[in-house]
């Protein structure tokens, strides 16, 4: 019903910045909250940041607070993740996901219905 495509990943040095994009298409509705998750080799998916439908509500994992910023443009059906001061421990495949929870931000990946294919972010140590 909803297709999500991430872009913007790459290899950057520690301290650099990247902006990831998550573009939605297909049958979308005006109530999707969106989360960014990441998964490193040998690790489970972890919540990174989430944003409510209106964009007024945001949540961040402690590990990325004050470094990452999530935003959205519903006209473009795109959610962004601005990542600053990147560290080696940020290396992972980053996924965006959507769920029709409106203004409620959900933290568990199991609660999300739609997922993108992921984009690799690599920060060498």
* pLDDT of amino acid 84: 98
pLDDT at 27: 77
Residue 64: count other Cβ atoms within 10 Å of its Cβ. 22
- d(CA 32, CA 51) in angstroms, rounded, equals 9
Q: Which two tokens stand for residue 16?
A: 């650099």
| pLDDT given for residue 59 in this prediction | 98
- Rounded-to-integer distance, Cα 63 and Cα 6, Å: 21
pLDDT on residue 29 = 62
Q: Could you list the pLDDT tens digit for every one of the 125 residues in the chain? A: 899 999 999 999 999 999 999 999 987 766 999 999 999 999 999 999 999 999 999 999 999 999 999 999 988 999 999 999 999 999 999 999 999 999 999 999 999 999 999 999 999 99
Do residues 17 and 83 lie in contact, with contact meaning Cβ atoms separated by under 8 Å? yes
Rounded-to-integer distance, Cα 125 and Cα 110, Å: 31
Return the pLDDT at 76.
92
């Amino acid at each position: 019903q909803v297709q999500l495509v991430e872009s913007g990943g790459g290899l950057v040095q520690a301290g650099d910045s990247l902006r990831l994009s998550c573009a939605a298409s297909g049958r979308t509705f005006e109530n999707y909250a969106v989360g960014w998750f990441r998964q490193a080799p040998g690790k489970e998916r972890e919540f990174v940041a989430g944003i409510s439908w209106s964009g007024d509500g945001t949540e961040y994992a402690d590990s990325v607070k004050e470094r990452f910023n999530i935003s959205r443009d519903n006209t473009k059906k795109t959610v962004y993740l601005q990542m600053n001061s990147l560290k080696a421990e940020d290396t992972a495949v980053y996924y965006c996901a959507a769920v029709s929870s409106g203004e409620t931000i959900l933290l568990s990946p199991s609660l999300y219905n739609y997922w993108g294919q992921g984009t690799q972010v690599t920060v060498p140590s």
